[in-house]
Amino acid sequence: MIRTATPPLQHPLSHIADNSRLRLFSGSANVALSQEVARYLGMDLGPMVRKRFADGEIYVQIQESIRGCDVYLMQPSCYPVNDHLMELLIMVDACRRASARQITAVIPYYGYARADRKTAGRESITAKLVANLITEAGASRVLAMDLHSAQIQGYFDIPFDHVYGLPVILDYLLSKNLDDLVVVSPDVGGVARARAFAKKLNDAPLAIIDKRRQAHNVAEVLNVIGDVEGKTAILVDDMIDTAGTICEGARLLRDSGARQIYACATHAVFSPPAVERLAAGIFEEVIVTNTIPVPEEKQFAQLTVLSVANLLGEAIWRIHEDSSVSSMFR
């Protein structure tokens, strides 16, 4: 049974501030989240036609005037990634041709982010390729959440706002009053993320899982660096894809004496066989956010889905009002 966070509240100033030039549109990837963000901002989603031709081509038409408006297009590039990415590009192009003043691509989950550098010869850097596509389509700015690596911001030659979903998870964990905590990074690459999380979780100690990846979506876990015996371990990552890494890490933590194990990630990609692995009883709870929709067939008893609508809505409001976004996380 899935558990979700409380529905978002309306922005405290949305009923008096001038939002006549603010427009919010949603792609098909996560309409529910877009509706929550719109409710927080005290507005409705803009009317738009989305359909496909017989050969699968995507058609988009904005059905109201957006001339001179600040337009925000919400679309995570989740499964099916190529379709949702192409839909976003077409939405951006449609808004550019409709004379929008500024077009912000709001991408709660940025797909193709794992190939962010060349690790072998003759590879594509798809994170940079997608950045080029979004920019060339006509986006003026990008708002994204919990990138796989922060360096992706530098792939854009337009303003980029990077917000974090882990504070939502942090607040939820603090409300549970767990004791004797240790925050665990599932690999060396996630140490900075785990360290920042541990500091805000009452300065909890940190442990690291030493991992050697043999191939894409295949990982061999070797050992735990740090003390986890008798503790409640909080495994923190940006995404859960096939869940191989996080589940192998959890088993190693059990073998090392961890008393309880919680898995936390912003993006619930949940590619097969993730659900079977996560529902196998290794974790007390698997905590994710709704940046990616979790359909009924991917839900299981230990799953908790928290809403990031308030956070994204506040970021959109601050961008529109030309105020600080980074101060939300201080």
Annotated active-site residue 199? The verdict is: no
Q: Quick check: helix, strand or coil at residue 225?
A: strand
Give just the sign of the alpha carbon dihedral 317, 323, 329, 330: negative
User: What's the token pair of residue 107?
Assistant: 């991408």
Q: What values do phi and psi take at 273, rounded to 5? A: -100, 45
Number of Cβ within a 10 Å radius of residue 67 = 8
Centroid of chain to Cα 130: 16
DSSP string, 282-305: S-SEEEEETTS---GGG--TTEEE
The set of residues, in sequence order, having a beta carbon less than 8 Å from that of 309 and lying 6+ positions away, is 8, 33, 36, 37, 39, 40, 290
Bridge pairing between strands 48-52 and 58-62: antiparallel
Contact 220, 245 (CB under 8 A): no
Give just the sign of the alpha carbon dihedral 27, 140, 64, 61: negative
Q: Which residues of 185-216 are buried (b: 16+ CB within 10 A; e: fewer)?
A: bbbeebeebbebbbebbeebebbbbebeeeee
Catalytic residue among 128, 176, 199, 211: 211
The set of residues, in sequence order, having a beta carbon less than 8 Å from that of 57 and lying 6+ positions away, is none
The set of residues, in sequence order, having a beta carbon less than 8 Å from that of 276 and lying 6+ positions away, is none
- Write out the catalytic residue numbers: 211
